[in-house]
Structure 1
Amino acid sequence: MKINRAGSGPSSWAPAEQFTGTVRRDPLIGSEAPGRVNAGLVTFEPGARTAWHTHPAGQILIVTAGRGWVQSEGQPRQEVAPGDSIWFPAGERHWHGATATTAMTHIAVTEYVDGSAVTWEDHVSDGDYAAG
């Protein structure tokens, strides 16, 4: 058994190449081999969001605070709130983040496949973000 104590890993700011706005990431726990799962707490300030991206094994999000938006390519944007959980299937192009006026925090659970958990793509434009 392994216990990761709250706050034992340093917070980090998400890179501008993959995110728009102010986004803080806090590590929660990662499995050890042969496991391939990682979980982190991600906080988006109002207007902040990920770039478009995919995950080779899909992704689970669990909203813990605030209000956010999630969108898969070709589908309408959806609002999410604390207690909501989201599943993005493997390879589904999507983005997620805070609403324009409210911060949002979620737990992100991802699985590594061949050493990679995510493929980053282009940024969500301000126009596309606002239009949903």
Structure 2
Amino acid sequence: MSTTFTNPSPFPLGKPNDAYARYFEGQSYLAPLVGTDTVAVSNVTFEAGCTNHWHIHHKATQVLIAVGGRGYYQIEGEPVRQLRPGDVAVIPPETKHWHGASPDEPFSHLAVMVPQNGSSNEWLEPVDSKTYSELV
């Protein structure tokens, strides 16, 4: 963790998201809050400038609830949307998308998933760095 990083969320920061680090540009943290057979809720925190790669949740809807800082998400073919605390994004199944912090501010969101039989994640390419850098 960088020496100037402060958790922007009222939820626990969690541990460095090492298991998924290869699918992120920058440092992220993961704090599982609820994990059952019927729902998974985690606080995901991104240091400033960190995004995950484009990805698709097969057979599962993802709900992002912004809880700290400033972030962005984008569904393929749609404009980039800013997320501030209290904003909610619903990502339908089979939808290519990405999310992460702004280039200059950390960001945290709760990620809510309802596991389905046969659900999976497909990780794809990183977000275009030129497009992302213009989001400030």
TM-score by length of 1: 0.83
Gaps of 5+ in 2: 1-10
What does residue range 1-132 of structure 1 map to in structure 2 within 5 Å? Answer: 11-14=15-18, 15-32=20-37, 35=38, 37-56=39-58, 57-131=60-134
Q: Percent identity?
A: 35
CA displacement at 1:55 relative to structure 2: 1.1
8 Å CA contact 1:11–1:27 kept in 2: the answer is: no
Secondary structure at the aligned position of 1:55 is classed as: strand
Distance 1:42 1:76 in 2: 22
8 Å CA contact 2:16–2:27 kept in 1: the answer is: no
CA displacement at 1:115 relative to structure 2: 4.9
8 Å CA contact 1:64–1:107 kept in 2: the answer is: yes
RMSD of aligned residue pairs (Cα, Å): 1.9
Secondary structure at the aligned position of 1:118 is classed as: strand
Distance 1:92 1:13 in 2: 23
Distance 1:61 1:117 in 2: 17
TM-score by length of 2: 0.81
Distance 1:101 1:24 in 2: 17
**Matched letter for residue 51 of structure 1:** H
